[in-house]
A and B are shown apart, each in its own frame.
Chain A
Amino acid sequence: MRKRVYLAILLSGLAGLPMSLVAQSGSPITGKIIAKSDGQPLAGATITSKSGKSVIKADKDGNYTINAQSGDFLIIKNVGYLSREIPLTGNGFQLIELEADITKLDEVVVTGLASGVKRSNLANAVTSLNAKDITGTVPPQTVDNTLFGKLPGANVRINSGAPGGGVSIQLRGISTLQGASQPLYIIDGVYLNNNTLQTGRSAVSGAGATNQDDAANRIADLNPEDIENIEILKGSSASAIYGTRANAGVIIITTKKGKAGRTKISFEQDAGFATIQRYMGSAPWDEQKINTYFPESRRQIELERLKSAQGKTYDFEKIFFGETPLLLASKLSLSGGNERTQFFVSGALNKEDGIMKNTGFDRRSIRANIDHKLNDRVSFSLNSNYLNSNTDRGFTGNQNNTGASIGYNIAYLPNYYNPFPDEQGNYPDSPYSLAQNPLAVRDKGINNVKINRVIEAASLKVKLFENSNSSLDFAAQGGIDFLSSNSLIYLPEDLQYQRNQANPGDVIIGRENNFNGNFQAFLVHKLNSGGFSFHTQVGSVYLTTERNLLFNRGRGLIAGQKNLTQAAVQSVYQHYDEKVKDYGVVAQHELNYKDIVIGTVGVRFDKSTLNGDANKFYVFPKASLATNLAKLPGWQSETVSQLKLRGAYGQTGGLASFGATYTALSPTVIGGLVGSQLSSVAGNRAIKPERAGELELGADIGFFNNRLLLEATWYNKNVSDLIQDLNLAGASGISTKKVNAADLRNRGVELALSGTPVQQENIRWSSRVLFWSNRTKITRLDVPSYLSGSYGATFGTYLYKEGYSPTTIVGNPQISPGVYTVWGDSQPDFQSSWFNDITLYKNFSLSFLLHWKKGGDVLNITLYNTDNGGTTKDWNEDYNNDGVPNGKDRPGKGTAGVYVQNADFVRLREAGLSYTIPKAYLKQVTKGKIENIRLGVSANNLFTFTKYKGYDPEASNFGTTAINTGTDLFQYPSSKRILFQLKVDF
């Protein structure tokens, strides 16, 4: 990371004036370097004469003057562009155009804790997304929403369509069988909190455990516009240096920096709307259906209701999910500085309402990134970010008996029922199964989360020693991520369900603080000697996290009141504290021979209070080797411009969840006495971290001066010592005990083919095809085989058994005691994506991203409910002609096979069209005051092709979990977003 910072400072410092780094000879030759795509000057491009005598940098206007002989060659390089070799034929002025390098081979990738490696020298397939990849096509609502289809090896799925994020990212399969199997997030060196914070909605709606709150994981708070770059270390071989928390990979986010020079002001305004992606539809009702659906005692009144409706019907899906909300985003950034100090300051306001009334997501962000160079030896930076978000996600998903889930509720309403309030505003009671008027829940219920968050990242770099071929630096870095959440869940006393309770009205008010603080100090040594360069770093890292939450509940509320003191029954819903400390020591040594052979060895020693023995070091080694065969002196091929063979092996850890070492006596109160009862989960003081060891092999082959690049990767990742709940015999009185008892294997391939098939004066087309596939298998299970997840064997649940993937779905009927029928697998067979970026006449830009997921089953429990409610679209039909309608047939079959459904899809993830006003014209009209104006229109999820009949083949009721994904149970329906953009740079 530090190297990247320095490079930026160095480049920006030099950009102002052409400066020779090496003594020059020959006669001066002048020229200008511009980007081929838009004609912009490329400040800071390096120009080297092939004879090796002269090295020069272009000035801020792209101009250069170099001393060279005619007959020599100039080698032009600029980060992000393909290098060119130009023969010197005379002394005339040369205009040199560089073509953008979509392969990004020269870009420096942050791989170590205090260093980076040039992409062309990497031994791993590290996916890197720059600002254009992240926000270039469609301005995303949240950062996690930008990653779909862009990461080979990743299984990215949205938990629900509710505004405000909530996305699960699994890199290279499943890395743990418990917890979330989510990657570690690092932003500017700070450990970022990506927890899903509970809200209490599940308690008030009766859904059950907090994992059905449909809360967003907090990566959603970040402002995507601030991000310069995201690097994804997908497996242990790449992420080993992050040690004990890196089993599920590491996502490294770097925010934007200022550059020396004129202060640039950039303003962008987006406005658009969202609509539901698709409706499921519902079955009509008639007299005959009423006579079979309702029991005798109700038929008369229902027939009267049907009659009095006089043919009027209500499309509940449209009533509830048919809004087309306004989406607004305003973004402003200022950046600039001088040689010693650079700044990047930004602010953003986002306001996106949902497709259901009273839902929406607002975010405010302000950031200041400051870099300062004290003198030639000492420099530091401080990145400050304050974030505020306000999310209303409404009541959707699971519920039990409260009716407080819109989709669930309307699944049980016949279409002749009128739920609208009368003139006095009184909502009619619902006489149907869920006994709650859903409109009243939508209009009066509150599910609100407010987040205040501060992320501070600081770094210090001191050059301790430097001579012509070696240097020693001290680099320290640290920061905090403090997050405070205030949640409010409220169902007022006058709702139908509440009125029928002993204590009507229910409110849960939650306060949760999360704190991450980390610090690291490194010594970095570099040495160049005889074509070899050595790069050594040694340091230590420290992390502390704290979590404190207090949720209070009030029931029996005074009319209209939400304050807890207005409740007849006031209680502490949850009070919980958590504190963790990690400490690690890291050493890494890299050897590079002329960029031909690059080898790295490293080791990390980690300890954590989450381990049974808090003070024991666990060792995580790594080693990698990359060879650039095309850089061998004798390499002649014109076609193959790069040929890199690479291999890497590394180990990482996965920590037990907090509390795994404790056998607790939990509190209970009965009849005024307080007691202690033995927890049903026994802890284990011998618990150790899960350990992943990954071997990654690959080849990167560039053709035609790297205009076409193929990256092929194979990996085998074994995760051992997986923490399991040893399910004790039910009669033992303790359900489970934490043990290290399982191993699993992820094996997969990742292919990336990128290139620029067309590169002409007026049309430029670049394209990228990704393909990836992963297979998981439990290779050892030292606890009894078990079923876990979703809602049990009736609809399908997950099988944990040696020789099977834990994503295997089994369910009724039972074959023998404890052995169930296998119905499917939630893991996709493969995924593929196709990205295209087409520029026409230099000013029009069209880009789109298609994403194809093949395989991967969903447990469609929504269907079970719409069948029971008489509302499934094909309920009235009779596919098997047995005289019983489908809606009665399916639930009566007693097989989970009805609900385990294929969820293949092809989805247009992103599509965007933009127009940049020609620069020359703009300059003339605005007298140079405005540098750039871009207009655009873009869309997310415009089309989905799938046979799956629910709202979204990706839905996941239980949030971000390792295995228990893919349950469709009335999640907030997914929407498509369409945005118009205006961007002005001053």
Chain B
Amino acid sequence: MTIQLKHILIVGLTALSFTSCKLETIEDPNNPSIGSVTHNATKGQLQTLITGVESRSRGYLSTTANALGTFGREIWYFNSSDARFVQVWTGQTVKVPDANFYSVGSIYASPYQTIKQANVLLEAADNTQAINEQERFAIRGFAKTIQGYQYIIPANALYTNGIRIDVADESNPGPFVSYEEALQAIRKILDEGYADLQKAGTTFPFKLTAGFNGFNTPAGLGKVNRALAARVAIYQKDWTAALNYLKDSFLDPNQSFDLGPSHVYGGPPDTFNPLFYVLNASVSSIGAVHPSLLTDAIPGDKRVEAKFFKRSSPLVNTVGTVPLSSDYQDKRWATNSSPIPFIRNEELILIKAEAEAQLAHWDNSIESINQVRAKAGIGAYTGAKSKDALITEILFQRRYSLWYEPSGHRWVDLRRYNRLNEIPVDLDKGTVFEKLERPLSEWNWDDYVSK
């Protein structure tokens, strides 16, 4: 036994000589870390975070436009590779959206990613000496304006299910608040952003893409901020506030109706315009114009001509439970790198018309309506000067003026006026949804925290 112990000792000592090997942490060879920007960020790093905010801020677009567009039957989102886009989104099978509803996750997740990214930017701007106070206000004003816009998206999708507003700490998110409270909070964020922009001097210390051309100064972005606030105000039925916000916005009936900020697109490494399809393309996935848009149109409406392209062969959907067909596809995008506006002069004119009508300023309202009708080439408004008639008219004009825009206006508009039953489902035998359910991750999280 003694021999054995001796040998074990030799063996053990020799082995110890191997143990001096120290392993150093290997840093991420592929990406910078978040820690590199939250403290002492350079101006260059702040710029990359700002560009990150702008890039994230378009992430919601394609799903939101296609899903909400389908909910409001502005389009059908044909996707022959996966029948669920038609079957589930038109409510042929699931009649009430559930927590794991098919392929709508990014309507919720993507805006919150943008909000988080903007919060990281705010934190980075607060914790660096690389910029002065005025520059800091510029960054804050930008971040909060974008945040305000992004909050609107889940708020409208979930409607009375409510959303979370306080999301600064990812491990401790604040409670769900009602739709009304959410809108109130969004207005507050926009107001704060607007106030920050007022203190931000005359030029931005950072670059935005061409999507903000004409709005890439504190004053210019302030006008976008006020336009978004006006949109929120009409959701709140705060008509006076809407008109006040419009005064400081870029509303101008004499300018192009398309005036407004955009999400920009391009070839790789950028992202292609997700709504672009080659005209007459024989493809299996495309947003098809809902046939009711054509049958309900006033003859000669230039918007029909400008937005709907009549195909040589119809778009056909044979998947799902009911066969569907549409002769028209979206014509708005010239190329796969065309920018997509997210709030336009034309919408602001219609917001004005609506707020004026609600405040019984019939002539002001009709003036705005006629600006839109004149552009569309369908003659002046001849209907009654009553709230009901004017709202019907405004909703009709919004249907064509704001067709298939990223915010899914038609569905939201009809819901605002309790007219969801006007959504045509006779062709697809589907269901009209009122709102999306809170996502599963939220149920699970609350469940988890309560334990």
Contact = CB atoms under 8 A, between A and B. Distances in A.
Given A794-B84, A818-B443, A668 B335 contact: no
A540 B26 contact: no
Nearest to B439: A730
A864 B11 contact: no
A668 B51 contact: yes
B291 to A, nearest CB: 10
B11 A538 contact: yes
Given A401-B79, A731-B164, A671 B270 contact: yes
Nearest to A534: B4
Residue among A523, A587, A868, A891 with most chain B CB within 10 A: A868
A869 B92 CA distance: 17
Contacts of A865: 83
Interface in B32-74: 32-37, 45, 47-56, 58
Residue among B284, B314, B444 with most chain A CB within 10 A: B284
Interface stretch (B14-22, B301-309, B344-352): B14-22
A675 B57 CA distance: 12
Interface string A417-435: 0000000000001011111
Interface string A780-812: 000111110000111000000000000000001
Nearest to B174: A731
Contacts of B75: none
Q: What is the interface of chain A mostly: helix, strand, loop, or mixed?
A: mixed
Contacts of B143: none
A672 B209 contact: yes
A572 interface: yes
A678 B437 CA distance: 26
Interface string A262-275: 00000000000000
Contact of A496 (B164, B282, B446): B282
A647 B217 CA distance: 75
Contacts of B170: 682, 728-729, 732-734, 737
A676 B335 CA distance: 27
Interface string A483-525: 0000000000000110011110000000000000000010101
B336 interface: yes
A87 B70 CA distance: 91
B173 A732 contact: yes
A209 to B, nearest CB: 15
A579 B11 contact: no
Interface in A805-837: 812, 814, 817-818, 820
Nearest to A398: B81
A311 B235 CA distance: 60
B401 interface: no
B320 A670 contact: no
Interface string B93-130: 11000111010010011001111110110000000000
A666 B37 CA distance: 13
Given A539-B18, A583-B23, A785-B444, A678 B100 contact: no
B325 interface: yes
A527 interface: yes
B299 interface: no
B209 A662 contact: no
Given A729-B442, A814-B99, A668 B23 contact: no
Contacts of A668: 51-52, 55-56
Interface stretch (A160-168, A295-303, A693-701, A766-774): A295-303
B30 to A, nearest CB: 6
B264 interface: yes
Nearest to B113: A733
Nearest to B83: A868
A709 interface: no
A83 B332 CA distance: 86
B359 interface: no
B173 A434 contact: no
Given A435-B284, A728-B441, A536 B21 contact: no
Interface string A561-575: 000000001111001
Given A399-B81, A786-B440, A814-B100, A585 B15 contact: yes
B418 interface: no
A534 B2 CA distance: 13
A680 B113 contact: yes
Interface string B429-443: 000000001111111
B440 A787 contact: yes
Given A730-B112, A730-B441, A540 B21 contact: yes
B268 A783 contact: no
A622 interface: no
A92 interface: no
A349 B105 CA distance: 50
A515 B448 CA distance: 42
Contacts of A503: 267, 336
Interface of A: 206, 292-298, 399-401, 403, 408, 412, 429, 431-436, 470, 472, 496-497, 500-503, 521, 523, 525, 527, 529, 534, 536-540, 542, 553, 555, 569-572, 575-581, 583, 585, 587, 607-609, 614-615, 659, 662-680, 682, 727-735, 737, 783-787, 792-794, 812, 814, 817-818, 820, 864-865, 868-870, 888, 891-894
By Cβ-Cβ distance, the 4 closest A-B pairs, closest first, are A733-B116, A671-B209, A675-B51, A571-B268
9 contacts: A298-B323, A435-B80, A502-B272, A662-B33, A664-B33, A678-B113, A732-B116, A784-B441, A818-B100
Given A585-B18, A682-B170, 7 more contacts: A665-B34, A669-B270, A676-B32, A680-B109, A732-B116, A812-B94, A817-B438
